[in-house]
Amino acid sequence: MEKTKKILLTERDIPHQWYNIMGDMPNPMLPPLHPGTMQPIGPEDLAPLFPMELIKQEVSAESWIEIPDEVRDAYRIWRPTPLYRAYQFEKLLDTPAKIYYKYEGTSPSGSHKPNTALAQAYYNKMEGVRKLSTETGAGQWGSALSFACKMFGLECEVFMVKISYQQKPFRKMLMNIWDATVHASPTDLTDAGKAILKGDPNSPGSLGIAISEAVEVAAKDGSTKYSLGSVLNHVLMHQTVIGLEAEKQLEMAGDFPDVVIAPFGGGSNFAGITFPFLRHNFRSGKNVRCIAIEPASCPKLTKGQFRYDFGDTIGMTPLIPMYTLGHNFLPAPIHAGGLRYHGAGAIVSQLLRDKLIEAQAIQQLECFEAGVKFAGAEGILPAPEATHAIAGVVREAMRAREEGKSKTILFNLCGHGYFDMSAYQDYFSGKLVDHHFTDDELYANLRELNTPIPA
Ligand SMILES: *Cc1c(COP(=O)(O)O)cnc(C)c1O
């Protein structure tokens, strides 16, 4: 019999519920704090920024949350996504490991991000919101939310990190096609942007700064709310459609993963593919290793500190218990823009603190090398972010070869790289370099923080 390459589900198999890991975590997370009072925040603190349904999801301990029909219907544009067995890549690596990848690049905007963008746009629409404001780094989140707003009839205003705005004009164009307004951040449209520009008129921007600007716009306008593409609990939960589908597909292939690997920016695609498998660790004694791969130039999980910190640069968000490099950390301008974030989601941080998941930092040259190898074997060009997962897979596959043991590896090919040609161009022309930090450089920001460090 011919071996199946592509394991497909039908529209009927799109999950009807998202999986919420909060009910299954051995240790609950610490509560987010109000930076003024240092008391746990309540729903009323978040109400200016988010619709009530998302605030409820943010604190819910229900294991399963119903996906609204309208959202599931919009998912049908590209879901279920295919799961592939990477036969050619396995052969190239000469490994006894079986490698599977879930391909999220088939979405309209090219990554996993619409899984939550559609849900967020829907709940905002239901609660009478007119416009969503948001930030975007590489442009993936901005295009996903622009698409989702277009689907549900909302306006969309995007603060795009200036360096990406300059490097990725086609991402901006895609957002414009879906009717979004896009600014190069920092702008002089917000107090946050003006403050940054006053300190450095040539600031290349950062995700933290863009978040400050987008939050300010929503906080000042009663008909606008804010939308975040990662980090928050409800965002991570919306992404679990990835792992839930993959679980079914692996079952069809008669397999179950020993290792699940995903790149890590704020934690959403990692959560999306790993949490449904972690549920089996928590509930039925499985022992799936879940590995987050972060860039060595922005190593919050492997070198950051677990403490309370702001989600943005100016300090407008609640204090979140997380692994962080400090909210004013300015990561090197690597092309994996989606991974240049100083912190990590609270759930993922707690899981790492409890040693229930693993993290590795990998330099960008190793990642691009792995990504190009993968494209040569499997045909699909990975997003620079996704190459981090692939580099992690190569390491695991090599280890399997050294140990002479087979194992099943699943990874998230969370986006395609067809908008990222300038990154590949820089790689091939030798312009990309690895970033080696001294601990002193990394900890300079952390030393300035005066936020609580939990015992
Ligand atoms: C945004 C993005 C990431 C990083 O964000 P997470 O929330 O950690 O998933 C990774 N890959 C791609 C393709 C992205 O668009």
CATH number (3.40.50.1100, 2.60.120.10, 3.20.20.140, 3.40.630.10) of 5-14+71-110+234-448 reads: 3.40.50.1100
Widest Cα–Cα separation across the chain: 67
Three-state secondary-structure class, residue 414: coil
Is residue 157 within 8 A of residue 147, CB to CB? The reply is no
pLDDT digits (tens, 9 = 90+) for 131-158: 999 999 889 999 999 999 999 999 999 9
Q: Whose CA is nearest to atom 2 of ligand 1?
A: 338
User: Which two structure tokens, joined as six digits, stand for 396?
Assistant: 């695991």
Classified by CATH at the fold level, domain 46-67+113-233 comes out as Rossmann fold (3.40.50)
Q: Whose CA is nearest to atom 4 of ligand 1?
A: 265
Ligand 1 atom having least distance to the Cα of 140: 15
pLDDT of residue 164: 87
* Gap from CA of 108 to ligand 1 centroid (Å): 15
CA torsion sign, 419 to 117 to 62 to 244? negative
* Residues with a CB atom less than 6 Å from ligand 1: 111, 113, 140-141, 230, 263-270, 338-339, 383, 385-386, 414-415
Ligand 1 atom having least distance to the Cα of 271: 9
Phi/psi at 65 (nearest 5 deg)? -120, 125
User: What string of DSSP letters covers 385-396?
Assistant: HHHHHHHHHHHH
Separation CA 366–CA 394 (nearest Å): 10
Domain ranges of the chain: 5-14+71-110+234-448, 46-67+113-233
Instruction: Please give the torsion angle defined by the CA atoms of residues 235, 239, 244 and 246, in that order, rounded to the nearest 10 degrees.
Output: -160
Is the N-terminal amide bond of 452 cis, ω within 30° of 0?
A: no
Separation CA 372–CA 380 (nearest Å): 10
Q: Give, for all 455 residues of the chain, the pLDDT tens digit.
A: 468 899 999 999 999 999 999 999 999 999 999 999 999 999 999 999 999 999 999 999 999 999 999 999 999 999 999 999 999 999 999 999 999 999 999 999 999 999 999 999 999 999 999 999 999 988 999 999 999 999 999 999 999 999 889 988 999 999 999 999 999 999 999 999 999 999 999 998 988 899 999 999 999 999 999 999 999 999 999 999 999 999 999 999 999 999 999 999 999 999 999 999 999 999 999 999 999 999 999 999 999 999 999 998 888 899 999 999 999 888 887 788 788 889 999 999 999 999 999 999 999 999 999 999 999 999 999 999 999 999 999 999 999 999 999 999 999 999 999 999 999 999 999 999 999 888 888 888 899 899 999 98
Q: Whose CA is nearest to atom 14 of ligand 1?
A: 338
Least Cα distance to 14 among 61, 108, 85, 77 occurs for 77
Q: Whose CA is nearest to atom 8 of ligand 1?
A: 265
pLDDT digits (tens, 9 = 90+) for 401-410: 999 999 999 9
Ligand 1 atom having least distance to the Cα of 144: 15
* Gap from CA of 269 to ligand 1 centroid (Å): 6
5-14+71-110+234-448 and 46-67+113-233 share one fold: yes
* Gap from CA of 265 to ligand 1 centroid (Å): 6
Cβ burial, residue 435 (10 Å; 0-12/13-18/19+): middle
Q: Whose CA is nearest to atom 7 of ligand 1?
A: 268
* CA 270 vs CA 102, 229, 246, 408, 444: distances in Å: 12, 13, 13, 17, 28
Least Cα distance to 374 among 396, 362, 361, 391 occurs for 391
Separation CA 128–CA 197 (nearest Å): 34
Q: Whose CA is nearest to atom 3 of ligand 1?
A: 338
* Gap from CA of 229 to ligand 1 centroid (Å): 9
